[in-house]
A = this chain, B = another copy of it.
Amino acid sequence: MSYFTLMSSSTYLEPIQEVTFAMIQMSCGPSLEANRQKAVTRIRIAAEQGAQVMILQELFASQYFCFTEDHVHFGLAESIPGPSTGIFSELAAELGIVIVASLFEKRAQGLYHNTAVVFDANGEMLGIYRKMHIPDDPGYYEKFYFTPGDLGYRVFLTRYGKIGVLICWDQWYPEAARLTALKGANVLVYPTAIGWDSSQDSETNEQQHQAWHIIQRSHAVANGIPVLSVNRVGIEGEIRFWGKSFACNAFGKVLCQASDSQEEIMIQAIDYSQSDHCRIHWPFLRDRRIDSYQSITKRFLDDES
C-alpha cells in the first residue's frame, strides 16, 4: 500500500485522508542505549494501539547536552546512517510504520548538525532535514554544537502522507512553516526540547508556554494544515522541560495536549482532508501577494520607510 493507492495503472484513487500519529513525550537519562530502548518500547506500544506515524522529541537519544558548552558532548553524536538509523529502519519495516527521529548528526570531523531522519513504513530511510534555525541562549548553547542546516525546507512523501519536518527553534519562524507548507506538506511536525529555567516564576513560565503554543498554532492557521509538536519532559540540571506536546487541526484547533510533567504516548488521528475545507473557506493561499514579499530575504529594512 502506498500513499497513492493504485488499483491499476489507469485508476486513480484519492490519497489517504486520515492518519494516526503517536507523539512520544519522554524524559531522558544519561545512557544513550537506555533512551533508544525507551523510544523503541514506546513505538511498539503506539503501534499496537494503531499509530501509523511516530514522532520522537528533539535529540531523544540523550539528555539535552546543550545546557553547557563542553567539547566532550560531541561524543554523543552519531553518523547518519549509523547506530540509531539502523534500529529505526528495522523497526519501521517490522511494524509497517513511519518514524521521525531527531538525532545529533556527526557529518564529518568538526561538522555537526541537529538532524531529523524520516523512515518510511517499509524501513527505507527517506531522507533527512537539518535544523535551519539554531538558537543560542543561556541553557541552550546550540550554536556551539550545530552548524545551521544546508538542505533547506523539506517534505517527505511517506506511506502515510507528505510530512513536513521542522525542529524546535524553527517553530518561531513563519517563513519556515510557509516554505514547508508550500512544498505540499500534509502536516508539519516539530520535534522539540524547550523548558523553563528553574529560577523563573510561574507567570513567566505560563507566558512562555503561551507564546510557544500560539506561534505553532498560527502556522496551522496561516497554511491550513495540521501541526504536531513533540516536546521532552523531565528535569535536567536547571531546566524543567515543559512537555505539553500537542496537535492542532488545519484551523489551529487543539486536538490533544500532554501534561507538563509526565511521560506520555499521545495518539491522535489527523484528518488531512480538512485542509481542503480550510483552504477553500479561508483561502489564504489564493491571495498571497507574492509580488510584494521579496524583502523578506533582507535582515532589516531600516533604509526604507
Contacts and interface: CB of A to CB of B under 8 A. Distances in A.
A157 B302 CA distance: 12
A281 B282 CA distance: 34
A132 interface: yes
Interface in A216-254: 217-218, 221-222, 251-253
A290 B301 contact: no
Count class of interface residues, chain A:
35 or more
A73 interface: no
B290 A298 contact: yes
A289 B183 contact: no
A199 interface: no
A174 B291 CA distance: 15
A8 interface: no
Contact of A169 (B132, B152, B287, B298): B287
Contacts of A4: none
B305 A251 contact: no
A210 B253 contact: yes
A299 B281 CA distance: 18
A248 to B, nearest CB: 9
A179 B301 contact: yes
A214 B210 contact: no
Given A157-B305, A215-B222, A251-B207, A172 B295 contact: no
B221 A282 contact: no
